[in-house]
Amino acid sequence: MALLDVLARLAPKLGLALSAHGVDHGLRTDAAAELDLAEQHAERLGVPFGRTRVAVAPGGNLQARARSARYAALEEAQRAAGAHLLATAHHADDRAETVLLRLLRGAGPRGLAVLPARAGERIRPFVRARKTDVLAHLGRHGVRFAQDPSNRDRRHQRVRVREELLPLLAELSPGIVEHLNALADALLEGPTAELDVGPIPLGRAHRRLLARAVSQRKREARIPLPGGRVLGLDSVTLEPRLLAQGRPLKP
């Protein structure tokens, strides 16, 4: 809601044509009513609004599978609208949580370079703002919004990071969110000269393709190597790894 409200206010000044799209993951009965609330606000702002309902079966790693389904739906809506950019509402606290989650999963430097302000056609206008800033905007302008109860469900590791680990770290270092964001920024801007995979030397063309895939978060990247080998990115850590087979990434 905050992203919709802010972009609608800025669109005339920036000369932007704006449309909004919501995704119902089919996991909660209240989701449809929450999208109704967003659609009503979009109508008040004069912003076209669409919605998609996807099917995400219950099971392991539910949040990751829901995220994949959500992005697929949003990218389809983006193509249908002929939009050049896809904006999401990730803020600095989201980014700090993601850095910590990657650390817990053993990610290396490239895997910690998360949620850049722009990656290809995806933009994150709020990525420098704290969650408190977002809530302050909603309160200041009287924008109604809904809370997803799954964001408080401690069965999800992200929720435990948000409600247990980050508050503890903030006691030790009040600027921890800013520090984690600075770390992600530094790693995003770091050199790509060392993008080799074990004993496999990469030529200039392969190195360029790999650097582009890492910077644009292309988890589906497939880079053909000599001898029929294929190089890809780990879906979680974004570290380069050899694949048994894959679809080549065109230069």
Give per-residue pLDDT as tens, 83-95.
999 999 999 999 9
User: Using CA atoms, how far apart are residues 231 and 242, in angstroms rounded to an integer?
Assistant: 5
3-state secondary structure of 59: coil
| The pair of three-digit structure tokens given for residue 7, joined into one six-digit string | 């972009």
Question: Around Cβ 11, how many Cβ atoms within 10 Å?
Answer: 15
Which fold does the domain 1-84 belong to in CATH?
Rossmann fold (3.40.50)
Q: Is the pLDDT of residue 10 over 80?
A: yes
Q: What is the mean pLDDT of residues 133-158?
A: 91
CA triple 235-89-130, angle to 5 deg:
105
Partners of residue 190 on adjacent β-strands: none
- Predicted TM-score (pTM) of this structure: 0.74
The kind and range of the H/E element at 222 are: strand 222-224
Residue 124: what residue type?
R
pLDDT-based confidence at residue 132 (cuts at 50, 70, 90): very high
Q: Are domains 1-84 and 88-190 of this chain identical in fold?
A: yes
Which position has the higher pLDDT, 65 or 22? 22
User: Using CA atoms, how far apart are residues 99 and 93, in angstroms rounded to an integer?
Assistant: 10
3-state secondary structure of 20: strand
Q: So where are the chain's domains?
A: 1-84, 88-190, 192-251
Helices 131-140, 2-14: inter-axial angle, 10-degree rounding: 80
Q: Are 46 and 8 in contact (CB under 8 A)?
A: yes
Q: Say what the pLDDT of residue 250 is.
A: 43
Could you give phi then psi for residue 67, rounded to 5 degrees?
-65, -45
Which residue matches tokens 């702002």? 45
Which fold does the domain 88-190 belong to in CATH?
Rossmann fold (3.40.50)
Q: What is the mean pLDDT of residues 150-158?
A: 86
Q: Is the pLDDT of residue 19 over 50?
A: yes
Q: Tens digits of per-residue pLDDT, 172-186?
A: 999 999 999 999 998
Query: Could you tell me how many residues make up the chain?
Result: 251
From the list 139, 182, 152, 21, the residue with the least C-alpha distance to 88 is 21
Q: Say what the pLDDT of residue 207 is.
A: 67
The strand ranges marked E within 10-166 are: 20-24, 49-53, 86-87, 118-119, 122-123
